Amino acid sequence: MELLQDLNWRYAVKKYSTEKVDEQKIELILNAINLSASSCGLQPYRLFVISNEELKLKLKADSFNGQIAESSHLLVFAAYNKITTQNVQDLVSLTAEVKNVSIESLDGLFVSIDSFFRSRTDEQNRHWAEKQTYIALGTALVAAANLRVDATPMEGFDAELFDKLLGLDEKGLHSTVILSLGYRDEANDYLANTKKVRIPLEEMVHTLN
């Protein structure tokens, strides 16, 4: 299957070339992320796409991940700080518009989702939102591989610095995980031509019939 070929091709690139990714491919990856699975359909995160070289250098700061600055584009997945009733109302309004139904017909949906999040602490909802970003990250990795765009997911970054430079706190967001995009520098990346290492499928998968 092409999907398995795509996934076997990809790896976490350690060294990028200076070649830039075409904006059309970036747009396709962003559309794939937007179509990613999301609990309740709430999509409790926003995505920041950074190609500005000066800003990427500032964001790298003292991080050991040089890919932050070397990448063609850097994607920052920023989760909601809290889930509000307005967030839920916005989802219901959008659902009514897209599905061409009345908002009143979705009262049950609104009450169900809103009551769930209001029954939990802000910290619980913040943690939930963070986990949702990783589902989107997974979609981004598959989409990038399909387009033969290299990608490196990273948690090794200064979240406080990112939040400050991108003004995330005033937007009600916080950086959770980042993804660099670009093209591998095969001559200088020690992983570029090595085989992917994964445990055998029979060890990974436990089938219960």
Q: Identify the CATH number of the domain in which residue 147 sits.
A: 3.40.109.10
Total structural domains within the chain: 1
In a domain, 154, yes or no: yes
Q: Write down the residue that tokens 């990427």 correspond to.
A: 56
- All residue ranges of the chain with pLDDT < 70 are 1
**103 falls within a domain:** no
- What 3-state DSSP class applies to 181? strand
Task: Report how far residue 61's alpha carbon sits from residue 196's, in angstroms, rounded to the nearest whole number.
Answer: 30
**Are 77 and 154 contacting, i.e. CB atoms less than 8 angstroms apart?**
no
With b meaning 16 or more CB within 10 Å and e meaning fewer, what string describes 94-125? ebbeeeeeeeeebeebbeebbeebeeeeeeeb
Least Cα distance to 140 among 182, 192, 179 occurs for 179
Tell me, yes or no, whether 97 lies in a domain.
Answer: no
The CA radius of gyration of the chain, in Å to the nearest whole number, is 19
- Within a domain: residue 34? yes
Domain that residue 20 falls in: 2-84+123-204
Query: How many CA atoms, within 13 angstroms, populate the side-chain half-sphere of residue 59?
Result: 34
Q: Considering the domain boundaries, does residue 77 fall inside one?
A: yes
For residue 104, is it within any domain? no
β-pairing verdict for 73-80 and 173-182 = antiparallel
Tokens (6 digits) for 24: 């059309």
Q: What pLDDT was estimated at residue 183?
A: 98
167 token code pair: 């003004």
- Is residue 178 one of the residues assigned to a domain? yes
Task: Provide the pLDDT for residue 1.
Answer: 66
Q: Of 118, 108, 58, 48, nearest to 82 (Cα)?
A: 118
In Å, what is the CA distance from 118 to each residue of 110, 115, 199? 12, 5, 42
Are 32 and 25 in contact by the 8 Å Cβ rule? The answer is: no
The one-character DSSP state at 35 is T
Give a yes or no: residue 182 inside a domain: yes
